[in-house]
A and B are shown apart, each in its own frame.
Chain A
Amino acid sequence: EPEVTQTPSHQVTQMGQEVILRCVPISNHLYFYWYRQILGQKVEFLVSFYNNEISEKSEIFDDQFSVERPDGSNFTLKIRSTKLEDSAMYFCASVNLRETNTGELFFGEGSRLTVL
């Protein structure tokens, strides 16, 4: 069964460093999402991406964040200059709305980011 895959599973970085989190969505999916979950808090929407552009972003998704689909398979989240409060689990998700009217999202296992 196809799955969304994410790398790395855990990354430790110094404050101010750039981080790129990678996701490979399910191959026939068209919509891609990033969510994050700070420890002990709820899963929060960051950004959605469709047709090679951002379709919606939350207040959290400020200028330090960017997303890209560089090669037709990977979907990346870049944090340009990490802050301590960026420490969280980041989840990638995808969905194919041609087949799924209800929009069931398929999630990756998450990338844990620790900013020191």
Chain B
Amino acid sequence: AQRVTQPEKLLSVFKGAPVELKCNYSYSGSPELFWYVQYSRQRLQLLLRHISRESIKGFTADLNKGETSFHLKKPFAQEEDSAMYYCALSSKAAGNKLTFGGGTRVLVKP
């Protein structure tokens, strides 16, 4: 069974401070990991995926298979980063459906 855990429901940081959102997963096969973001009054949208190894809006995430983690990091948070962030897992074996974590609300204070 697929499971994604985001231990923090809320992260509050000051502008310019680093932010790290934790994500741990359990899956016996080869998962694909994603971070989705939902800004206020907007739809869920993909932020980044582990296979592309890219930085989007200053965010990076590294898949650590040993620790089964996919933490999201940004060295200098901006006010526009305030949003709901969801870690998600998918696999071709599971029909590419996404299994979401519970989400972490990030609040960046000025």
Contact = CB atoms under 8 A, between A and B. Distances in A.
Contacts of A3: 43
A20 interface: no
Nearest to A103: B96
Given A42-B100, A42-B102, A43-B100, A107 B95 contact: no
Interface residues of B, number: 23
A77 to B, nearest CB: 15
A44 B79 CA distance: 29
Contact of B43 (A41, A48, A108): A108
B94 to A, nearest CB: 8
Nearest to A108: B43
A86 interface: no
A110 B43 contact: yes
Interface in A8-39: 31, 33, 35
The interface residues of chain B, by DSSP majority, are classed as: mixed
Nearest to B90: A103
B49 A48 contact: no
A90 interface: no
B97 interface: yes
Chain A: interface residue count, which band? 20 to 34
Contacts of B17: none
A45 B99 contact: yes
The residue among A3, A45, A93, A97 with the most chain B CB atoms within 10 A of its own CB is A45
Contact of B51 (A102, A107, A110): A102
B45 interface: yes
A33 B100 contact: no
Contacts of B45: 107
Interface string A92-112: 010101000011110111100
A75 B45 CA distance: 20
Contacts of A109: 42-43
Interface in B43-84: 43-46, 49, 51-52
A4 B49 CA distance: 20
Interface of B: 32, 34, 42-46, 49, 51-52, 86, 90, 92, 94-103
